[in-house]
Amino acid sequence: MDMVILGTGDAFSAKHFGSSAVVLGSGGHVLIDAPDALMRAFAHASERSGVNIGPATINDILLTHLHGDHANGLEAFGFWRWLEWRRIGHPLPRLHTTSQVAERLWQRLAPSMDQGGTATLADYFELRVLPKTATAHIAGLAVQHRMGRHTVPACGFRISDGKRTLGWSGDTTWDAGHVEWLSTADFIVHETSPAPAHTPVEYLNALPPELRAKMGLVHMPDDFDVSSTSIRLLKDGEFITI
């Protein structure tokens, strides 16, 4: 299973795109989160990875939570696809998220996207609420989610193509149960940033070596001390085979 990391920065980064990725499923590209400057992140990652990534080729979006550094890109993506739908009838993208996020998603987007009260969320995205416990099947991938511990409802994912599994922590403070849930994956992308909203790297450094060996970090502050951990630091635009 292949993926391209779009960004590795935190909410305040002046150097990196926001933490997000595209998983290359057998049934299409699946975007995990939509940070600021999403179109530029697509262009950057396409150039770095050699994979053509963009709003035309992504038909499924997994959204962990509504913080801007994970959701601000939805507006540009939504408008881009709305215009394509009007122009050539290109089907709308599916947006998969938890019931907690789904309930408030339009409340967040409407002030800039309701077009004077004439448009609704369904004009931009086909909303799919992830089943609470069952597995969702998205672009040839089996997707499960688990709520992390964050300042707003946020989830992580286990994404499998039947052979290999990616674990994605989403934003979470240190949560041993969350890491245990992710530990069945073949590769884990974990966030790190200061407490209390995020997971300080010291907790991840204390994990068993076999777990650290299959882990890559995102959501790092710009002043992150690269010598503070032996866990792999992921890079914007990096192509990864799991």
Q: Which residues bind Zn ion (CB under 5 A)?
A: 67, 171
Nearer to Zn ion, 149 or 212 (CB): 149
Based on C-alpha coordinates, what's the Rg of the chain? 17
CB of 159 to Zn ion, least distance (A): 19
Task: Match 């992140």 to its residue by tokens.
Answer: 41
CB of 171 to Zn ion, least distance (A): 4
CB of 186 to Zn ion, least distance (A): 25
Check if the beta carbon of residue 239 is closer than 8 Å to that of residue 44: no
CA–CA distance, 240 with 224 (Å, rounded to integer): 22
Cβ partners under 8 Å of residue 13, min gap 6: 221, 222
Task: Match 């609704």 to its residue by tokens.
Answer: 120
CA-based nearest residue to 37, from 64, 65, 59, 16: 16
Nearer to Zn ion, 50 or 68 (CB): 68
CB of 144 to Zn ion, least distance (A): 20
Nearer to Zn ion, 24 or 179 (CB): 179
CA–CA distance, 95 with 128 (Å, rounded to integer): 6
Report the residue count for the chain.
242
Nearer to Zn ion, 171 or 175 (CB): 171
CA–CA distance, 166 with 143 (Å, rounded to integer): 10
- Which structure tokens are listed for 130? 């992830």
Nearer to Zn ion, 24 or 105 (CB): 105
Nearer to Zn ion, 8 or 49 (CB): 8
CB of 242 to Zn ion, least distance (A): 24
CB of 3 to Zn ion, least distance (A): 20
Helix (H, G, I), strand (E, B) or coil at 34: coil
